[in-house]
Amino acid sequence: MAADPTRVAVVQLAPELGDVVGNRRRALEAVAAAAGAGAQVVVLPELAVTGYCFRDADEARALAEPLQGPSLAALHDAAVRHDVVVAAGLAVLEDDGTLRNSAVLVDADGLRTIYHKVHLWAREPEFFTPGDAPPTVVETRHGRLGLLVCYDLEFPEWTRRLALDGAELVCAPVNWPDVGRPAGERPLEVVTAQVAAATNRVFLAVADRVGEERGTSWVGGSVIAGPEGYPLALSPLDGGTAVLLADCSLAEAREKGVGPLNDRFADRRPHLYGFPGE
Amino acid sequence: MAADPTRVAVVQLAPELGDVVGNRRRALEAVAAAAGAGAQVVVLPELAVTGYCFRDADEARALAEPLQGPSLAALHDAAVRHDVVVAAGLAVLEDDGTLRNSAVLVDADGLRTIYHKVHLWAREPEFFTPGDAPPTVVETRHGRLGLLVCYDLEFPEWTRRLALDGAELVCAPVNWPDVGRPAGERPLEVVTAQVAAATNRVFLAVADRVGEERGTSWVGGSVIAGPEGYPLALSPLDGGTAVLLADCSLAEAREKGVGPLNDRFADRRPHLYGFPGE
């Protein structure tokens, strides 16, 4: 059980669309750099190997790989070599031809879980089949980890479920498109992550990306939020690649108390939350 | 229906514990000031007439009043005189002796709805019986309004429900105790309100308080958030009383689209959100 803090890293990369070999290499270099800085859990962005802005489904399928492909093998190798747990977003082509926007959790034992993004953003339904199952919480040597992908974070029902299922650290590969914001405002995506962490008293590690693909740029808002909802590490939003680190006492996420008399979970009134018409 | 913007005011007051007559007078003065500035909907803080930090249940009961009491009459009179809709937090003593932490919505027609806070904070259960019913969405001449009170906002299931029930503007009387925050951070309570607005694409008008009662001080974070989640008006957090205004095109909250291809409601996967064990 994790009594000591776990050093968590989020890696903000700049994948180049279609440069699978180069993206994979840069991701592995970043994992090595994070581990060199003491990271024990490393989170990489969504679709970290393929890039994001596919022209069409054919291009997406051509860039994807089977789950038991070179990216998973390389991540496993890195997990062994650096003694880290890695969460990463990959485009996964299933045996029956289904293409998924997935996140994998890999440690020295190999693949611990795979999660298929349930809430698809923008044109993603042209390329990907959405998942139909919640993420599995995995007991690792550093604590209980769970996965979500990008737009999933904007559905508080989903973050709540993962927390109720026992996740202490939610690892979230994302690609947050930059849609602009009022001057001086922190991106809404970042504060949404903060609030998801606070509402559930979990740690939340979001690895965003930078760079540009076919006219789309990105928030570059990688963040590690603690169970009080404030950032423990936050990208300066300057558009650069980065490895952000925070020491997270994950056991704190098992205590749902807020103030001396309240509790994020026990204070819920679930029997009142039914949604008429659903 | 409201094609023109609705001018919404949140009134940040400094109630003095037990000074029912003075607090009521200052609340009414603030409603008049807001109306003078063109406000059509005015939100007052939680427990705006009694104050908050009761010593014990006897003190709370002594300061409370029946629903059909002088505060409701005064708010109705103000609504008629100034042609405004008013939302306010009151301690309401029911006929059977039940004490409630309530919010009322009043317009020129009188009391439109009352909501009893469902999620009680800190010592409130010593004084108040929690509500057992969701807030009712009220069709007003300015749009569809709903009520929540303070800690309710920290349960995304509850804000979601109110939005699904059709609220376009959520009026939230609050008393946010100041529990401190990291330097340079916006209070988590404020960003929680922002995210509740964005997640549901509603307007959210939060009236907080300032002043000090028995060693407790307050965030003073009154805010009006728009459906993109960014503040349209935000208290400068300098501890002062204030009337904050924002022009809100409430009809925008009927459109749940986010980007050209997504929708805050239609993208939900409610059949996946069941919570095991509940």
Burial of A82 (0-12, 13-18, 19+ CB in 10 A): buried
Test A192 with B192 for CB contact under 8 angstroms: no
With an 8 Å Cβ cutoff, is A194 touching chain B?
yes
Stretch B146-161: mean pLDDT, rounded? Answer: 97
Res. B164 pLDDT band, cuts 50 70 90: very high
* Rounded average pLDDT over B17-35: 98
pLDDT score at B238: 73
Residue B126's pLDDT band, with cuts at 50, 70 and 90, is very high
Nearest chain B alpha carbon to A199: B154
* 3-state DSSP assignment of residue B190: helix
Mean pLDDT of A184-213: 98
pLDDT at A70: 98
CB contact under 8 A, A199 and B270: no
Predicted local confidence at residue B278, as pLDDT: 41
pLDDT of residue A278 exceeding 50: no
Q: How confident is the model at residue A3 (pLDDT cuts 50, 70, 90)?
A: low
Selected catalytic residue, list A150, A168, A213, A256: A150
Measured in angstroms, the CA of B23 and the nearest CA of chain A are apart by 28
Residue B274: band (very low, low, confident or very high) from pLDDT cuts 50, 70, 90 = confident
pLDDT-derived band of residue B94, with 50, 70 and 90 as boundaries?
very high
Active site residue A117: yes
Q: Calculate mean pLDDT across residues B249-254.
A: 97
Q: What mean pLDDT value characterizes chain A? A: 96
Say whether B150 is catalytic. yes
Q: Which residues of A touch B186 (CB under 8 A)?
A: 186
Scanning A108-147 for CB atoms below 8 A from B yields 118-123, 130, 132-134
Q: Which residue of A has its CA nearest to B258?
A: A122
In the predicted model, what is the mean pLDDT of chain B? 96
Per-residue pLDDT for B176 more than 50? yes
pLDDT at A53: 98
Size of interface A-B (CB pairs under 8 A): 132
Is the confidence at residue A13, as pLDDT, over 90? yes
Active-site hit among B53, B124, B150, B213: B150
Candidates A191, A232, A265, partner chain B, best to mutate (most B CBs within 10 A): A191
Q: What pLDDT, on a 0 to 100 scale, did the predictor assign at position B2?
A: 44
Buried b (16+ CB within 10 A) or exposed e, B199-232: bbbbbbbbbbbbbebeeeebbbbbbbbbbbbbbb
pLDDT given for residue A274 in this prediction: 79
Q: Which long-range contacts (CB under 8 A, 24 or more apart) does A93-96 make?
A: A93/A61, A93/A64, A93/A65, A93/A66, A94/A66, A94/A67, A95/A66
Residue pLDDT, tens place only, A106-146 = 999 999 999 999 999 999 999 999 999 999 999 999 999 99
